[in-house]
Amino acid sequence: MWRHRGMRRGICSRWLAYRYALFHPITPMYPIGSYYLKPRFRVSSSNNNELRNRVDEEKLQQIYHLLPHRNCGLCGYSSCRDLAYAIVTGDASPDLCRMIDDRIKREIKEILDRR
């Protein structure tokens, strides 16, 4: 059946057989609806250690708990925890997160203003 559909579209039957043999054993491992984006980059451990030394842990925890914990990557960071580090160190602003509303952004700015 898959050959007939491909041949109607002008695809060579040998190419279709090759693709079927190549991808058919792989595809049952991926059930429909389980696809998601994985971060393709990681922060190296040396950068993490340097960053942890500069960060106030209490502020970091408070800001991290206000973030949505989705790790979507829309802000440019691989996880919400990395974004919280960047916000506390001053490398990023709370406006980068698109999942939180203005009320939470104000709360984050209030946490940052405390000394």
Domain co-membership, 99 together with 59: yes
pLDDT score of 68:
92
Q: Are residues 50 and 19 in the same domain?
A: no
| 42 compared with 89, residue with greater pLDDT | 89
Domain that holds residue 54: 45-113
For all residues of the chain together, what is the average pLDDT?
75
Tokens of 50: 């340097």
Q: What is the pLDDT of residue 29?
A: 54
Residues 64 and 85 in one domain: yes
DSSP 64: H
CATH number assigned to the domain comprising residue 108: 1.10.15.40
| Per-residue pLDDT tens over the stretch 29-61 | 555 444 444 444 555 555 555 555 566 888 999
82: left (phi over 0), alpha (psi -120 to 50) or beta: alpha
50 and 90 housed in the same domain: yes
- Do 72 and 49 belong to one domain? yes
Looking at the fold, whether 56 and 20 belong to one and the same domain comes out as no
Of 77, 71, 75, the C-alpha closest to 47 is 77
Residue percentage of the chain with pLDDT more than 70: 55
If asked whether residues 49 and 95 sit together in one domain, one would say yes
Amino acid 40: pLDDT: 47
* Higher-confidence position of 107 and 115: 107
Please tell me the pTM assigned to this model.
0.53
